């Protein structure tokens, strides 16, 4: 498992007065540092250590989001009244309901 393939983010924490490194695939992990580069290095090392521990104990390791296959489909349950309203909007715009929903999600 290449830990460089995970999704890292560095943000500023006003509460801590430092940068916070985080990893989307491991939401419970974080690393605080005064410099952005140190926050990234710290969270990468923490993730590497956790992955090594999981592998050593035979536990499953999360797949990096960058390596997952996405079909482009997902189901969303909505109230019937909203479904009717969206279907009407789609008809008025001359597009499919899927196209309308995709445009709204992208917007």
Domain regions of the chain by residue span: 3-66, 70-106
Mean pLDDT value across residues 29-43: 98
Among residues 32, 59, 60, which one has the least CA distance to residue 46? 32
Mean pLDDT value across residues 77-97: 96
Q: Is the CB of residue 25 less than 8 Å from the CB of residue 7?
A: yes
Residue 1 pLDDT > 90: no
Residue 58 region by backbone torsions, left for phi larger than 0, else alpha for psi between -120 and 50, else beta: left
Q: pLDDT > 70: what percent of the chain?
A: 100
Helix 97-106 and helix 80-93: axis angle, to 10°? 100
User: E strands within the chain?
Assistant: 8-13, 18-23, 26-33
Task: Enumerate residues 6+ apart whose C-beta is below 8 A from 97.
Answer: 86, 87, 90
- Output the CATH code of domain 3-66: 3.30.160
Mean pLDDT value across residues 52-58: 98
Q: Which has more confidence, 107 or 97?
A: 97
């Amino acid at each position: 498992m290449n830990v460089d393939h995970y999704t890292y983010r560095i943000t500023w924490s006003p509460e801590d007065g430092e940068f916070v490194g985080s990893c989307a695939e491991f939401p419970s992990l974080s690393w605080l540092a005064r410099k952005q580069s140190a926050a990234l290095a710290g969270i990468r090392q923490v993730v590497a250590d956790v992955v090594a521990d999981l592998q050593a104990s035979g536990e499953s390791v999360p797949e990096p989001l960058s390596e997952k296959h996405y079909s482009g489909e997902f189901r969303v349950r909505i109230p019937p009244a909203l479904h009717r309203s969206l279907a009407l909007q789609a008809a008025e715009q001359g597009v499919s309901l899927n196209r309308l929903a995709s445009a709204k999600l992208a917007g």
